[in-house]
């Protein structure tokens, strides 16, 4: 498939700030050393390891002598600028002990929303892997702006995993996995060991980040797992500081929460994955119950007749989110209409639309070939 790197045995691991830093808020070299040792073991076993690492801002705070995370964007970006070099030095030094070179790759969402940029990033990562290096990837927080950032590295890791057609995506967290409730407040909370389908009820179990150094939470990890499951990539969320957890997760051991797509789950094309994951949604279309069934269960295109609400400002050719009546995200796709046009045609059948917009004759709101359904 176009845009998919097909080297066998690619595994992507994402480490969050709360797992990476020690109690004093500094990058924990002992933990990073353990992670690099596990990566080296997998490297010897024939796996190609890609690391998506948070922690640049925390490393920058240490280097700049700050005790609190800056509350302003320029302050955080300054920390990222100082910390990214320091963090990469740590990875490079520790991986060198195993004679493994390290390549730093900094990405913004703007890099990936452009199709050429997406393919260039994929080709660069592929070549690093072919040359025996371990890419260490982070969002380029120094220049990223709020409306174009990933929000957290969980989704960045998911995009990288789908970009490289990875065999597994592992999220090393500060918790054991997804629980039925918050285990810190509910003694009856149970670890969810296996997920084969992400339902709204399951997504509701996840919460946000409560960390002073992290930006994600279980909700962002579940969203990332939903994305990789669409690509047919198994995903594991587990406690990063549990000894050998990365290796165990790659080997398919029963650790943490495993998100395993079923054997009959469709593996979407590279273009659909780029549309749904890398591209930014410029608005949303809400579907009625009948349209939802047709799209999710019947594999249909989104037709204007089934659209009940239009949000955002977008042009024909922009990516929009597709929601159900309860606001749940069903998928993302390329709109064949602008926002103004969609407001005019929503709820109307194609034959009626053709009477006053002949240039749109037979045009769905979103064609199935340009729609990624989660």
Q: Where are the domains of the chain?
A: 10-259, 280-373
**pLDDT above 70: residue 209:** no
**pLDDT above 50: residue 210:** no
Span 26-55, average pLDDT: 93
pLDDT at 125: 94
Closest among 14, 60, 69, 55 to 212, alpha carbons compared = 69
pLDDT at 147: 40
pTM to 2 decimal places: 0.78
Q: φ and ψ at 131, to 5 degrees?
A: -85, 5
pLDDT at 265: 62
Query: Lowest-pLDDT range, 107-121, 187-201, 269-283?
Result: 269-283
Q: How far apart are CA 83 and CA 305, in angstroms?
A: 51
**pLDDT above 50: residue 212:** no
Q: How far apart are CA 348 and CA 50, in angstroms?
A: 48
Span 365-370, average pLDDT: 91
SS3 308: strand
Percent of the chain scoring above 90 in pLDDT: 49
Q: Does CATH number 3.40.50.1100 belong to domain 10-259?
A: no
């198994």: which residue's tokens? 234
Q: Which residue has the higher pLDDT, 49 or 275?
A: 49
pLDDT at 117: 83
Span 40-61, average pLDDT: 91
Residues 6+ apart with CB under 8 A from 256: 173, 176, 177, 191, 193, 236, 237, 238, 239, 245, 249
Tell me which architecture the domain covering 280-373 has in CATH.
Roll (2.30)
Distances, alpha carbon 79 to alpha carbons 3, 17, 86, 87, in Å:
34, 14, 11, 12
Q: How far apart are CA 257 and CA 162, in angstroms?
A: 20
Span 192-214, average pLDDT: 68
Q: Are the beta carbons of 344 and 322 closer than 8 angstroms? A: no
Q: Determine if residue 63 is left, alpha or beta; phi over 0 gives left, psi from -120 to 50 gives alpha, anything else beta.
A: alpha
What residues pair up with 170 in beta bridges, in sequence order? 13, 236
Band of the pLDDT at 268, cuts 50, 70, 90? low
Percent of the chain scoring above 70 in pLDDT: 90
pLDDT at 2: 43
Mean model confidence pLDDT for the chain: 86
């Amino acid at each position: 498939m176009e845009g998919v790197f097909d080297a066998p045995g690619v595994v992507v691991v994402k480490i969050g700030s709360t797992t990476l830093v020690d109690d004093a808020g500094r990058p924990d070299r002992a933990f990073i050393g353990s992670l690099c040792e596990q990566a080296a073991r997998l490297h010897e076993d024939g796996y190609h390891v890609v690391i998506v690492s948070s922690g640049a801002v925390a490393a920058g705070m240490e280097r700049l002598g700050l005790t609190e995370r800056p509350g302003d964007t320029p302050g955080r970006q300054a920390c990222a600028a100082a910390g990214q070099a320091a963090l990469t030095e740590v990875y490079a030094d520790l991986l060198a002990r195993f004679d493994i070179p390290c390549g730093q790759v900094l990405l913004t969402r703007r890099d990936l929303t452009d199709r050429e940029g997406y393919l260039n990033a994929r080709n660069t990562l592929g070549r690093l892997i072919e040359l025996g290096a371990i890419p260490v990837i982070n969002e380029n927080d120094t220049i990223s702006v709020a409306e174009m950032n990933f929000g957290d590295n969980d989704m960045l890791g998911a995009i990288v995993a789908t970009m490289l057609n990875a065999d597994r995506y592992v999220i090393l967290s500060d918790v054991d996995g997804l629980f039925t409730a918050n285990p810190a407040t509910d003694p009856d909370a149970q670890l969810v060991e296996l997920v084969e389908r992400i339902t709204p009820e399951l997504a509701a179990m996840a919460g946000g980040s409560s960390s002073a150094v992290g930006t994600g939470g279980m909700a962002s990890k579940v969203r990332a797992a939903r994305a990789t499951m669409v690509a047919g990539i198994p995903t594991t969320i587990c406690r990063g500081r549990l000894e050998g957890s990365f290796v165990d997760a790659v080997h398919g051991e029963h650790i943490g929460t495993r998100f395993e797509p079923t054997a009959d789950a469709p593996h979407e094309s590279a273009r659909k994955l780029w549309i749904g994951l890398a591209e930014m949604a410029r608005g949303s279309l809400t579907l009625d119950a009948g349209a939802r069934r047709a799209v999710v269960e019947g594999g249909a295109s989104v037709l204007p007749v089934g659209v009940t609400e239009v949000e955002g400002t977008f042009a024909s050719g922009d990516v929009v989110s597709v929601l159900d009546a309860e606001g749940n995200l069903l998928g993302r796709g390329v709109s064949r209409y602008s926002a103004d046009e969609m407001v005019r045609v929503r709820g109307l059948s194609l034959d009626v639309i053709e009477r006053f917009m002949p240039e749109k004759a037979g045009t769905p709101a979103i064609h199935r070939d340009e729609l990624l359904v989660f």
